[in-house]
């Protein structure tokens, strides 16, 4: 039975692409305000899970809810509640940073004045004022990722999906993005996928490890350490990934 | 509708800031009008060939220009798909109608703007070369170009939706070559007759050129204007419906 009090709740969530099972009977409960990191090697099913939870694709089986709204039956309600920062930066290249932010705010229903005010506030919050009126196509990788996260926050989502947000950006930009994510912690629910163990360690309240579409382990870092008898997320992840747990 | 207009504004902004848009959508028809007028001036008067005279040429160039808008639309849609920008927007509360209208509206407006630019250029050329163009006919051609614009924009939309950003322009280039020929832009199909004319009449391009030329000449007889106009309207409606269906289908498959 799905519980409406969870920010994210799935039961037996499954996605098959032909004969390949990308996500296999995923059971997951995430409390509101939690930062949940979903870890796994490439092809483990992390992005597919995010796509199902954000009503982008239909599951092959099972069910999922975002704050009590069914991801299959109520996609519009779900899309109003979630923000998505995809793996590849998705911005409008010839529009400025400001215009991109206003565009997203307006898509989520803000009037022009509110959208502009929110865009200015977002630029301030995410340190983008310097290049606010520059075309997005000239931004660096780190700046693009920051814009992508800021755009995902348009409309004030209750659940934010960050799909490998720091992939391919330098250490300074990564730390800046960590600060932004840390500032959001507790205010909204964040589902983060990443390949960087130190990132998950630094930011997460809870961690889930997916292997071949299945959630093999889930808990706080301390709980996972106790389960494996190891110290630190990287050895814990390797042990679980290699199937020795 | 509000989201469709917001998306349309975004697409218009992207279009206006892309230098290629000015070359393809505005510069090209003006250059073609000027070049073909020079060709016309070189044709001996005894030949009685009037195809490239400005009153005929204008109608052909209006439709030829819309072929390039079709190419531009296909590139825009295919690039948005490649960049994952559309996938990102699929996660917003936008509906398939918002996407379709958001692409079709600004590009159809561009078609009318393009016709207006060609209109002005043709008017200047007519004045220089000593011909007169009826302003009423030219204004009517703007209305026809809006209708044919929906047809060409929808064609580009289908190409951009179904093909990659490499394949879509290649496909559109083939369509430009074949369509402009069978659209009787560069030759007088009605005088040619035979199999060639039958072939031209099978496709809507011929009717597009014919309707604009009839509009300019203020020849509002059913066979010259209203029948071609009805064919354009029907083709635009069918192509737009196919574009919506194709985008809806692709929206699902791209996500899956």
Rounded-to-integer distance, Cα A92 and Cα A115, Å: 17
B18 and A CB contact within 8 Å: yes
Domain-located, residue A112: no
Domain carrying residue A233: 8-90+156-241
Residue B172 pLDDT? 93
Q: Mind telling me how many Å the CA of B2 is from chain A's nearest CA?
A: 8
Domain-located, residue A99: no
Contact check, Cβ <8 Å, B91/A106: no
Residue A169 pLDDT? 80
If interface means Cβ-Cβ distance under 8 Å, which residues of chain A face chain B?
Answer: 17, 51, 54-58, 76, 79-80, 82, 84, 86-95, 99, 103-104, 106-108, 135, 151
Higher per-residue confidence, B180 vs B49:
B180
The mean pLDDT of B181-198, rounded to a whole number, is: 83
Confidence of residue A72 (pLDDT cuts 50, 70, 90): very high
Residue A42 pLDDT? 86
Higher per-residue confidence, B19 vs B253:
B19
Question: Are A65 and A10 a contacting pair, CB within 8 Å?
Answer: yes
Contact check, Cβ <8 Å, B6/A106: yes
Higher per-residue confidence, A4 vs B134:
B134
Question: Are B240 and B154 a contacting pair, CB within 8 Å?
Answer: yes
Domain-located, residue A115: no
Nearest to A163 by CA among A74, A56, A87: A87
H-type helices in chain A, by residue range?
Answer: 46-53, 75-81, 97-107, 112-125, 141-152, 171-184, 197-203, 221-228, 233-241
Higher per-residue confidence, A147 vs B192:
A147
The chain A residue lying nearest B14, using CA atoms, is: A94
Length of chain A equals 245
Structure tokens at A155: 């409309």
Domain-located, residue A196: yes
Nearest to A35 by CA among A245, A215, A221: A221
Q: Tell me the CA distances in angstroms from B158 to B74, B75, B204, B249, one per residue in order.
A: 7, 11, 16, 11
With a cut of 90, say whether residue A14 has pLDDT above it.
yes
Q: Tell me the CA distances in angstroms from A111 to A45, A103, A124, A187, B92, one per residue in order.
A: 37, 11, 20, 24, 16
Residue B62 pLDDT? 92
With a cut of 60, say whether residue B89 has pLDDT above it.
yes
With a cut of 60, say whether residue B242 has pLDDT above it.
yes
| pLDDT tens per residue across span B78-88 | 988 887 788 88
| pLDDT tens per residue across span A207-221 | 999 999 999 999 999
The mean pLDDT of B112-130, rounded to a whole number, is: 88
Residues of B in contact with A106 (CB under 8 A): 6
Rounded-to-integer distance, Cα B217 and Cα B131, Å: 13
Contact check, Cβ <8 Å, B84/A80: no
- Interface probe, candidates A17, A51, A56, chain B, greatest B C-beta count within 10 A: A56
Torsion of CA B33, B34, B37, B38, to 10 degrees: -150
Residue B255 pLDDT? 57
Rounded-to-integer distance, Cα A208 and Cα A231, Å: 17
Among B residues 67-106, those touching chain A with beta carbons less than 8 Å apart:
83-85, 87-94
Question: Are B158 and B70 a contacting pair, CB within 8 Å?
Answer: no
Element (H or E) spanning B249, and its range? helix B227-255
Contact check, Cβ <8 Å, B87/A90: yes
Structure tokens at A113: 């004045």
Residues of A in contact with B12 (CB under 8 A): none
Count how many domains chain A has: 1
Lowest-confidence region among B150-154, B219-223, B249-253 = B249-253
Structure tokens at B206: 């011929």
Structure tokens at B106: 């600004």
Contact check, Cβ <8 Å, B90/A56: yes
Residue B236 pLDDT? 96
Residues of B in contact with A80 (CB under 8 A): 93
Residue B153 pLDDT? 95
With a cut of 70, say whether residue A244 has pLDDT above it.
no
Rounded-to-integer distance, Cα B226 and Cα A198, Å: 70
Mention every residue, 6+ apart, whose C-beta is less than 8 A from residue B28. B65, B68
Contact check, Cβ <8 Å, A84/B84: no
Domain-located, residue A139: no
Confidence of residue B254 (pLDDT cuts 50, 70, 90): low
Q: Mind telling me how many Å the CA of B148 is from chain A's nearest CA?
A: 28
Domain-located, residue A127: no
Question: Are A65 and A5 a contacting pair, CB within 8 Å?
Answer: no
What's the mean per-residue pLDDT of chain B?
A: 88
Domain-located, residue A130: no
Lowest-confidence region among A50-54, A60-64, A234-238, B40-44 = B40-44
Contact check, Cβ <8 Å, B92/A88: no
Q: Phi then psi for B4, rounded to 5 degrees?
A: -60, -40
Nearest to B154 by CA among B63, B235, B254, B211: B235
B201 and A CB contact within 8 Å: no
Question: Are A155 and A80 a contacting pair, CB within 8 Å?
Answer: yes
Residue A2 pLDDT? 64
Lowest-confidence region among B109-113, B129-133, B213-217 = B129-133
Q: Across-strand partners of A20?
A: A17
Residue B188 pLDDT? 79
With a cut of 90, say whether residue B210 has pLDDT above it.
yes
| pLDDT tens per residue across span A151-170 | 999 888 999 999 888 887 88
With a cut of 70, say whether residue B14 has pLDDT above it.
yes
Instruction: Supply the CATH number for residue A13's domain.
Output: 3.40.50.300
Q: Mind telling me how many Å the CA of B134 is from chain A's nearest CA?
A: 40
ipTM: 0.84
The mean pLDDT of B165-180, rounded to a whole number, is: 92
With a cut of 70, say whether residue A180 has pLDDT above it.
yes
Contact check, Cβ <8 Å, B256/A54: no
Residues of A in contact with B3 (CB under 8 A): 107
The chain B residue lying nearest A163, using CA atoms, is: B88
Domain-located, residue A181: yes
With a cut of 60, say whether residue A185 has pLDDT above it.
yes
Chains A and B: how many Cβ contacts under 8 Å? 65
Q: Mind telling me how many Å the CA of B22 is from chain A's nearest CA?
A: 15
With a cut of 70, say whether residue A53 has pLDDT above it.
yes
Higher per-residue confidence, B10 vs A89:
B10
Question: Are B91 and B124 a contacting pair, CB within 8 Å?
Answer: no
> Which percentage of chain B shows pLDDT scores above 90?
44
């Amino acid at each position: 039975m799905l519980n409406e009090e969870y920010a994210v709740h799935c039961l037996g969530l499954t996605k098959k692409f032909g004969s390949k099972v990308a996500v296999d009977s995923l059971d997951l409960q995430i409390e509101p305000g939690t930062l949940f990191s979903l870890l796994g090697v490439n092809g483990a099913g992390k992005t597919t899970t995010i796509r199902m939870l954000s009503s982008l694709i239909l599951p092959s089986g099972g069910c999922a809810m975002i704050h009590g709204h069914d991801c299959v039956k109520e996609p519009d309600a779900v899309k109003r509640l979630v923000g998505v920062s995809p793996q590849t930066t998705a911005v409008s290249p010839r529009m400025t940073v400001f215009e991109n932010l206003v565009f997203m705010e307006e898509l989520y229903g803000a009037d022009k004045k509110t959208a502009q005010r929110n865009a200015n506030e977002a630029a301030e919050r995410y340190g983008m004022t310097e290049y606010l009126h520059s075309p997005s196509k000239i931004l660096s990788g780190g700046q693009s990722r920051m814009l992508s996260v800021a755009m995902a926050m348009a409309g004030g989502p209750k659940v934010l999906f960050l799909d490998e947000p720091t992939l391919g950006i330098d250490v300074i930009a990564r730390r800046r993005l960590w600060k932004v994510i840390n500032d959001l912690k507790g205010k909204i629910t964040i589902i983060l996928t990443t390949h960087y163990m130190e990132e998950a360690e630094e930011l997460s309240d809870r961690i889930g490890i997916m292997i071949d579409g299945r959630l093999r382990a889930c808990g706080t870092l301390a709980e996972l350490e106790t389960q494996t008898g190891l110290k630190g997320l990287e050895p814990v992840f390797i042990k679980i990934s290699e199937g020795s747990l | 509708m509000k989201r469709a207009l917001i998306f349309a504004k975004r697409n218009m902004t992207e279009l206006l800031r892309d230098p290629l848009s000015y070359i393809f959508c505005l510069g090209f028809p003006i250059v073609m009008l000027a070049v073909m007028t020079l060709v016309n001036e070189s044709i001996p008067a005894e030949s009685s060939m009037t195809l490239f005279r400005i009153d005929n040429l204008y109608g052909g160039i209006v439709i030829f220009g819309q072929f390039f808008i079709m190419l531009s639309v296909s590139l825009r849609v295919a690039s948005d798909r490649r960049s994952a920008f559309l996938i990102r927007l699929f996660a917003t509360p936008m509906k398939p109608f918002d996407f379709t209208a958001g692409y079709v509206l600004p590009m159809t407006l561009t078609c009318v703007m393009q016709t207006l630019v060609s209109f002005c250029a043709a008017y200047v050329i007519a004045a220089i070369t000593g011909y007169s163009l009826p302003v009423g006919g030219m204004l009517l051609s703007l209305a026809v170009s809006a209708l044919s614009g929906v047809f060409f924009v929808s064609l580009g939309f289908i190409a951009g939706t179904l093909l990659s950003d490499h394949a879509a322009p290649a496909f559109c280039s083939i369509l430009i070559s074949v369509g402009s020929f069978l659209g009787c832009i560069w030759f007088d199909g009605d005088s040619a007759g035979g199999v060639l004319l039958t072939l031209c009449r099978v496709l809507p391009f011929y009717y597009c050129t014919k309707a604009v030329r009839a509009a300019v000449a203020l020849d509002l007889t059913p066979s010259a204007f209203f029948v071609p106009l009805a064919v354009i309207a029907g083709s635009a409606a069918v192509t737009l419906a196919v574009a919506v269906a194709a985008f809806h289908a692709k929206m699902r498959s791209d996500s899956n």
